[in-house]
Amino acid sequence: MTIRLLLDEHYSADIATALQDLGHDVLAVVADPELRGASDPELYRHAAANDRRIVTENVKDFRPLLLRAVATGAPVAPLLLVPPRRFPRGRGDRTAAITAALRGWIERRSAMRPLEDWLV
């Protein structure tokens, strides 16, 4: 099963490019003119419609969207949540650290991935 990720607007397009260069299906909101500036519900619906897992640190906004989709039977976009304390903004190597962690998460073989997972 191919894992398809959509990086929330907090993440550099360089992360998506580096992972794409390794053959992974990763898109960045900041690199897509149609998605830049989209509301969280719009972004969630787009990800669900395109079978993408959202990578975000915005737990408070995206978790309720996931729970609502599950409860109502609407299309679901799984979440890969990024702990901001583990990957703080302003840290010089944040992009490289997130890229490496995402690569490890993608390449880790797992038959079952939860609808909500954490990047560690």
Strand partners, 54: 6, 79
pTM for the model: 0.94
**CATH number 2.60.120 is the correct assignment for the domain at 4-118:** no
The confidence band for 88, taking pLDDT boundaries of 50, 70 and 90, is: confident
Section 25-51 average pLDDT: 97
Domain boundaries defined on the chain: 4-118
95 Cβ contact list (under 8 Å, min separation 6): 11, 12, 14, 15
